[in-house]
Amino acid sequence: MTRRTNQRCLPFVLALLFACAPRTPSGTATENSTAATRSPQQYTMEDFYANTSYSGASWSSDRKHILVSSNATGIWNVYAMIASESIAPWHFALSLPVGLAIACGLIMTLLFAPDNARRLLIGFVVLVAGLTINGQIGTKRDLLIVPWLFLPVAVTLATLNGRRKQLMLGAVALAFGLGWFGIIVRSYYGTLRFFEPWQEVSRSVAEELQQGAGVVAYHPIFFFHLTYDLGLTKHGTEERLDGVLPTAVKDPRVFNAVQFIESGFPARPEMIYVKAAGFIERQETAKPAEEWLETHCRLLDTHGYLPDPYSELKLRFGEDKGHLPYRIEVRKYACGESNHP
C-alpha cells in the first residue's frame, strides 16, 4: 500500500521539481544579468565615512521644499562636551577663560602624562573625531567617552610636581569652577530648553479652554502637561495616563497644527496659538495654521515666556534656524463666529 501510494505521488513530485527548477534565459539577457551581478558599484572607505546623515524631513509650508536637519558640522556639540552647556560660547567673559583653561589642561596632559595616560587621551581624540564624522556626537553619547578624558588628566595631575602641577591644577579648577558657576546661576546657558516653563504655559491655556477657547500647538511637552491640566487622566477615583493629546487622547478644543489644517481650520470664537522655539520642521508645517489665524482672526494678546537675547546670533551662526526672541510665544485671537462643527 505504501509503495503504490509513493508511485502515485511520484509524477506530482517530478512536476513540482520541474516547476521550481530555475530557468536559464538565453542570449544577451543572460550575459547582461551575469555582468550586472558580478560588477557591483565599488566604494572606497573614504566614501563610506565621508557621508552626511539627514533627519527630520518634512514638507515646507509651500510644499516646494523638504526641510531637514543634518550632521554636516558639529562645532556646538564639541564645545558643549568640553565646556558644558551652562556657559554658552557667546558669553566671552566666561567662555574664553574656560576655553583657555581646557586648552592648557589638554596640552599639559599631552606633554607630561605617562605613556599609558597619553594613549587614553589620544584614544579620546580619536573617538570624538569618529563620532563627529559619523554624525553621532552629542551630550548623551559623550557621557560614555568622558572617562577617556578625565582619567589621563587625573593621572597627569597625580604625577606632576612643582609649578607645573600648580598650573594644571589651576586650569582644571578654573574650567570646572566656571562650569559649576554657570549651572548654579543659570543665566549663561546656550540651550534654554532646560528652563522652558511648559507647566506654567499649560495651566494658563487650560484656564482659557475651560472658558470655551480652542488651542493650536505643536510642542509635545505642552500636550503632555495639557493632558493632565484638562483632567483627561482622571478615571473616577483613579488617575491614569492612557495617552497624550491630541492624537491618542482627543479633545474637541485641542489641535496640533496638522489636524487644524486638515480639518479645514475649525476655529472657535477664541483661539490660542502656542509657538515654540526649536522644532524647525514643525514650525514650518504649522505655518499655514499660523497664517490662517493671522488673516481670519484678530490678535488680542501676545505673551512671551523665557526671552532668548541671543536668538539673532543663533539664527545667524547656528545650524538650527528655529530660534525665536522668546522660547515660547502664546497668542490669543478673536475669530468671530465659530465655524467649529
35 found inside a domain: no
Greater model confidence, 304 or 52: 304
The verdict on 238 and 157 lying in the same domain is no
Of 27-41, 75-89, 176-190, 274-288, which range is least confident?
Answer: 27-41
The verdict on 177 and 200 lying in the same domain is no
pLDDT band at 41 (very low <50, low <70, confident <90, very high): very low
What per-residue confidence (pLDDT) applies to 85?
79
The verdict on 184 and 213 lying in the same domain is no
What per-residue confidence (pLDDT) applies to 76?
60
49 found inside a domain: no
The verdict on 214 and 141 lying in the same domain is no
46 found inside a domain: no
The verdict on 283 and 171 lying in the same domain is no
Q: pLDDT of 44-65, one tens digit each?
A: 434 333 334 433 334 344 444 4
The verdict on 209 and 313 lying in the same domain is yes
The verdict on 92 and 183 lying in the same domain is yes
22 found inside a domain: no
How many domains are there within the chain? 2
What average pLDDT does the segment 329-340 reach?
Answer: 81
The verdict on 108 and 212 lying in the same domain is no
pTM: 0.63
* CA-based nearest residue to 138, from 192, 85, 89: 85
Q: For residues 155 and 95, what is the distance between their CA atoms, to the nearest angstrom?
A: 26
Percent of the chain clearing pLDDT 90 (strictly above): 41
Q: What is the mean pLDDT of the chain?
A: 77
- Residue 265: give the domain boundaries: 194-334
pLDDT band at 186 (very low <50, low <70, confident <90, very high): confident
Among 30-34, 239-243, 319-323, the range with the most confident prediction by mean pLDDT is 239-243
**168, 190, 212 — which closes off a domain?**
190
The verdict on 289 and 327 lying in the same domain is yes
**169, 190, 211 — which closes off a domain?**
190
What per-residue confidence (pLDDT) applies to 24?
42
Q: For residues 259 and 226, what is the distance between their CA atoms, to the nearest angstrom?
A: 17
What per-residue confidence (pLDDT) applies to 129?
84
What per-residue confidence (pLDDT) applies to 106?
87
The verdict on 221 and 129 lying in the same domain is no
* pLDDT surpasses 80 at 313: no
23 found inside a domain: no
The verdict on 246 and 211 lying in the same domain is yes
64 found inside a domain: no
pLDDT band at 87 (very low <50, low <70, confident <90, very high): confident
3-state SS, residue 217: strand
57 found inside a domain: no
Q: Which helix (H) or strand (E) holds 275?
A: strand 270-276
DSSP per residue over 27-84, as a string?
THHHHHHHHHHH-PPP--HHHHHS---EEEEEE-TTSS-EEEEE-S--HHHHHHHHH-
What per-residue confidence (pLDDT) applies to 320?
59
What per-residue confidence (pLDDT) applies to 62?
45
* pLDDT surpasses 60 at 96: yes
**171, 190, 209 — which closes off a domain?**
190
